[in-house]
Amino acid sequence: MPVTFRLTRSDGRTLVVTDQGGAGRPLLALHGTFGRGAVFDRLAADLAGTARVVAPDQRGHGRSDSAERHDRASYVADAAAVVRALDVGPVVVLGHSLGGITAYQLAARHPELVAGLVVEDVGPLMRRPEIAHPVLDVRGWPRSAPTRGELAARIEAAGVPDAGYFLLSAVDRDGAVELLFDWEEMTAVQQGGCGDWWADWLGSACPALVLRGEHSTLLPAGLAARMTGRRPGAVLRTVAGAGHWVHDDAPEEVAEAVAAFLAALPPDGPAHPAAGRGRPAA
């Protein structure tokens, strides 16, 4: 049974975490900008019995509190706090987009917490000219509407072809549909992820799987090849037909790839706890 618990962040605000429970290797799943932990519900179901997926709503996202700081150190500190709260030893960390940067930075800065990495569609460079559009300026975009359909239409009119991903963070509130995040804060989140992160990507030695969408807008094929070629123990898998949200575009293939990666890892002490063990109080 999934359990949601709350952690107090370093800034005194709350981080909301969902632990899917069950048997299998603990897998910390970190969503990207505009997301929430629930984006990994399908993956958690597909990996039931193989992985115990633990998915936080990162600062400023979902039902976690907003934040004044969106620097890399703060996101890494939050992720480390979740792993320590689980108290199950090193975990495998899967991160999509901005969450992928946090994942490999966690491995570099806290190697004792990470047994393996799955990095989904993000590389060690998040800047121009390598990435054409590292930041989508969403300041002033609509946050609420009377219906989901109208909110989707307003967001798409503001500048995206499909608002579906954003609506995963929409909830019914006071007779309207409202996004859980703030657009201005999301611009700051993206800006905090921009930079040259080669040192962090190369700074860990655990096994790593890089999942790239064939039609990715944030991980060019050449950069992906250099990324895995320069780091021992890293393997690249390009998912045909997928875009940036690989886990949504090809859920079965992603689940299969993650399951195979987990199966190939050596068992590491307490990395396979029984259901319910090592779980903080709700």
- Listing DSSP states for 101-156 in one string gives HHHHHHHHH-GGGEEEEEEES--SEESTTTSS-S----TT---EESSHHHHHHHHH
| Strands of the 144-145 sheet, one edge to the other | 144-145, 176-179, 170-173
| Tokens read off for 75 | 């996101």
Element at 213 (helix H, strand E): strand 208-213
- Residue 95's contacts (CB-CB under 8 Å, 6 or more residues apart) are 29, 30, 32, 101, 102, 103, 104, 117, 118, 119, 120, 122
- Enumerate the domain spans of the chain: 3-131+185-271, 144-181
Give the whole-angstrom CA distance, residue 172 versus residue 177: 5
Please tell me the predicted confidence (pLDDT) of residue 1.
Answer: 82
* DSSP 3-state of 227: helix
Is 0.85 topped by the overall pTM?
yes
Question: What pLDDT score does 271 carry?
Answer: 39
Residue 166, amino acid = F
- State both tokens at 246: 């690989």
With a CB cutoff of 8 Å and minimum separation 6, the contacts of 229 are none
Q: In 3D, which of 257, 246, 192, 200 has the Cα closest to residue 219?
A: 246
Contact 67, 13 (CB under 8 A): yes
pLDDT in tens for each of the 282 residues of the chain?
889 999 999 889 999 999 999 999 999 999 999 999 999 999 999 999 999 999 999 999 999 999 999 999 999 999 999 999 999 999 999 999 999 999 999 999 999 999 999 999 999 999 999 999 999 999 999 999 999 999 999 999 999 999 999 999 999 999 999 999 999 999 999 999 999 999 999 999 999 999 999 999 999 999 999 999 999 999 999 999 999 999 999 999 999 999 999 999 988 644 334 334 455 544
153 by Cβ neighbours in 10 Å (0-12 / 13-18 / 19+) ranks as: middle
In this predicted structure, what is the pLDDT of residue 51? 98
Q: Do residues 103 and 119 touch, judged by C-beta distance below 8 A?
A: yes
Q: Which of 237, 245, 211, 263 is nearest to 51 (CA)?
A: 263
Q: Which CATH architecture has domain 3-131+185-271?
A: 3-Layer(aba) Sandwich (3.40)
Model pLDDT, residue 277: 41
| Residue-level pLDDT at 273 | 40
Handedness of CA 181, 83, 202, 250 (dihedral sign): negative
User: What pLDDT is attached to residue 10?
Assistant: 83
Taken as a whole, the chain contains a residue count of 282
Q: Which of 69, 80, 70 lies closest to 108, judged by CA?
A: 80
Cis ω for the linkage preceding 129 (within 30 of 0) = yes
How do beta strands 208-213 and 234-239 pair? Answer: parallel
